[in-house]
Structure 1
Amino acid sequence: MVASVDPGTGFVTALSGGSTNITYTINSGCGAPASSFQVLNVSGGANPGTISGTSPLCIGGTTTYTSNGDAGGTWSSSNPLVASVDPGTGFVTALSAGTTDITYTVAGPSASFKTLTVVSGAAPTVSGPTNVCPYLGNNVQVSYTANTPGASSYTWTLPPNVNLVSGAGTSTITVTFNAGFALQANKQLRVRANSVCGVSAQTIYYLLVQFPSTPAPIVASTNNVCPSLGTLVPITYTIPKVLGATSYVWSAQAGNTTITSMNGPGENDTTVTVTFSSSFSTSAITVQAVNDCGVSGIRSLTITRSNPSTPGLVSGPTNACAHITQGGTAATYTVAMLPNVTSYTWSVPAGAIGLTGQGSNSISFTYPAGFSSGTVSVVADNGCGSSGIRTLAISKLNPSTPGIIDVIQSNSCPNREYSYTVSSMPANATSVLWTVPAGATILSGQGTTSITVSYPSTAVAGTVTATAQSNCGNSVTRSVDVKLPACPIDEFAKGSVQTSQLPVDALSVQVFPNPAVSDVKLMVKTTMKEQITVRVLDLQGRELHRMIIMPDALKSFGSNLKAGAYMIEVLQGNKRTVQKLIKL
């Protein structure tokens, strides 16, 4: 079609080169239609023609492309990195392996192109299975493919015991393998590519008859099998894939285990779950990799059924006295937590009251009234069994005799007060029972290791006793004698004083004020006439000052003493008194 025209408007569109008549017709209905026409000549477009030229080219090769179309066109390359072309002459130079379109364009625009392949002449790449174990001696056909862009043919060289089925001279061959291939040294498949560049270098493709290697170590989701025994709770075991393996063989203790493959049989069978019966004993789970060449070495992991370790030492009271019912407190016994233990089983003396904590690593209870001796024992338990027994012996221990009673005078006549102290609570005792002479009063401390006693101003003679007590009984009694004269009628200057445990007989000493900030005053009343020696000592017994005074004399001293505690020793004949002085 040269041109088209709109029937109503006469609008003409030129479509292709040539001539045509444009006709206008009137139909009046009164006779034959009347018409006239005009000849329309349409000029045709430019002709790029058909391109001729060599393809493929070797890298570095040249050629000139031509066209049988209109002259005066322009040449171009779609990929100038593969090949360049002279725009005016069509001279082509191959630069690198690949393809490019060489295009010839004339006015219009009209163009035609030809695809050029540039060949490197490199050695071919080869693809196909390398481990041929699955194909030995069974006539299974295997394909290998060589690839060099632009190659026109290929030359294959097969090793012994490899049979060519088809594909000689082509890029893909099909072969079969004899069983003897596994035993020979030469397992090289060789191929060269033929192209405009000539014959390529040889590619050697190495074939293998590869037995699977021994699997890597088995990894378990847990090494503690005990909680799973006799349950449906599985343990997972995993290995990495083995190169060339087509399947795996897992095994565990027959009759007491069930193995389930998580990924099904085959080359992905690298993860299994195992459930264990309650009768399972220590044994191994094993795995081997398999392919058509054979079976790998065995990889094993020992699964140990291990009873818990014997618990450590039981901590808690070994003397039951403080923990016997009717006044005693609960005794608590504990062992350190052990790994892989689900519970602890305790055994306690018969009649134990209020036992709590059974199953844990700590229990509490009180002993019955008639308890005399026994044991507390514990074993650790888990799904594998029970540990050895840990035992603690329990007995009733009577209190020890209190230690030496220290005596300190804390106030002098007429309101005499003394403190009586044992150094510590006697072993196995819960309290100390004190008694004092008639007329004396315990002001404080009954039941403890120290009491304060008030004495009347009249003469007092007797003993102070201390007896250790517990729920199990009383100790031997410790005592100290008391012999106090009646207080003198005339009173000394009052102050707070302290005396040693030696009783005051015919020698009365006052040190005041005590505690003191500056000077201290000393007065000694005595019925004897000998001179009086006074020594100031530190708490280590070192003498700091010595002086001689007369009876009833008031002596000042101590202004040079530093803050601290001191002992004031007063000696007259065979009488000795020691008082404690506090200097602020």
Structure 2
Amino acid sequence: MPSGLNTATALIKVSSGSLTDVSDSNFRILGTPGSLSATAGPCAGSLNFSWPSVTNATHYALLKLDPATGLWDTLNANISGTTYAATGLPVNSSLWFTLVAKNNATKAISDRALAINRTTSGTGSTPLANISGPASVCGNQTTTYSVASMAGISTYTWSVPAGATILSGQGSTTISVNFTPSSTSGSVTVFGTASGCQTSTSSLTVTVGNNVAAPVSGGDQTSCTSTSSALTATATVPTGFTVVWYNAASGGTVISNPVLNAPGTVTYYAASRSSNGACESQARTPVTLTLNTTTPAMVTASGPVTFCAGGSVTLTANAGSAYLWTNGATTQSITVNASGSYYVTVTQPNGCSSTSSPMAVQVNPLPVASISASGATTICQGETITLTASTGDTYLWSTGATTQSITVTQGGSYSVTVNQATGCSNTSTPVVVQVEAIPLAEITANGATAFCEGGKVTLTASPGNTYRWSTGETSQAISVDRTGAYSVTVTSAAGCSKTSNPVSVNVSPIPTVALVAEQNTSLLPGERTTLKASANGTGTFTWLKNGTIVANATANTLPVSIDELGEYSVKFTSQESCSATSNKIAIQAAASNDLFLYPNPNKGQFQIRYYSEPGIVSSTAVLIYDSKGARVASANYTVKVAYDRLKVDMRNEGSGIYYVVLQQENGKKLASGRVVVL
């Protein structure tokens, strides 16, 4: 049969190529049962079978395999439902079962279902479930008792205590029982039977009497409006009774809904009443309901709840009798200095408590405020150091600068306040910058710095801690005898140094000078000689006669006459002011016995010169005679030099030829000569 089709009858069509044929009669077709299951029944040798329904099936046949013949025996050939309780099967036996579906109208029969194997029980009957119903009743009360049905059980047999009557339901799972005032306490029992087997008996002890127990209180209730909008009184009564609420311990009126839905206190009273209303407990159970007003908890802050580390805020709860904060504090106020969500549970004197909405406190950390220096914080005058603040959003230095870094040239204590966008700030520990003075770097010379070879000068540096000269020397003073530019670096005790301006030292070579006489060095009156100096380089000449400077004599030559006898030398001074003195040349008088008269002829005034030993002072007489031999004049002279000048004035004597005689003091004639007076 094609998948998905279910039918009780069908025609068969056969095709072969172009030829087809349809059956003359309908075939009876029915689907095979999908499955078969079985569980142990209530009695020994019983099984409860069940299966899914088959489409178009009206009945089912349950079959059991006969192990002796190998044939299937019918247990029930006409089962209208999908369950069947089989009894009287061999106990403790392994049996095979199968099922076929039937349609009694079309006579269609399905194939057998997949066979199953089950083993029957031999342990006896299965007990029924517990009886449901009141265990305590009062006289003149009708109530019901029931038991759960069991598969395979066809009849349920009940019994009740003496004086009680089963009104209906005997043989079924539920009975109605009438208890009269004369009924006694006893048991309600039931057992089931099926095909000759009987279950064990289920029993329920029932107490009969008019002394009905009062309800058991569900407990007094106290609550708060914050947790309950209404309270309802509760109580528990014996089975078969209901709770009846009153507004008084006795008498009063019945309360249909024992609730409290507004702040206050109320007491309700519960009684046990039978379901038929025939009996009710004499005592009533009080249940008190109390609904207290809850005051909402609130938190107020003494100031901003967002602040910087190191600050705090005081959170205060509204008035109450007890407090419990999220941080465990139990005081009305807490001082908070850490971030968090803070709320408080406030308990009022009436026992009601309320928890506030959380208050968020944000404590922003202080920025790190530190200063890093680009180098040592002790610097020398003229140097700089860069101070850099740790990272922030804005900066304020003690100098007033607002950049992250500042360049420092002056000594002092420097600090910075680092600010963040949160408004938090922190001030650094001060950094002390010390500016050391640059030492004076000057050179003083103890003399001229331009001198001649063979001289020297001492150069002294201004005071310091250490010194380094351009020569490599490290003393404060150095002695210099060579040309050069000399400088010194002076370093103070603080390590600051300065280099001086260079001092130029010029050492000039000593010149050479030689002196010669171009003519004789021995002169007679009227004769001259020239002294000539020769020197290397350019310079000036200073002439010396007997060690005394000859005035106005600066040329390299010097004419010398008989009147200028002496020892001559010349000092040559170069352009560098270096000087050298030449060899000495003595110009002296040439010895002669002649008498020298000049000018001759003259106009009455003339001079007489005669050689005298140098260094000898003598007295000499001059006698003058005219051409006739008459002495016309005479005079005495002191002679101090070799050719001393003896001046004669004869302008009163007239012109003519005169005869001049020179004699010593003792009258000895030394020399004579003739002079013409015009």
Structure with greater contact order relative to length (CA < 8 Å, sep ≥ 6): 1
**Structure with the greater alpha carbon radius of gyration:** 2
TM-score greater than 0.5 by the shorter chain: no
TM-score with structure 1 setting the length: 0.29
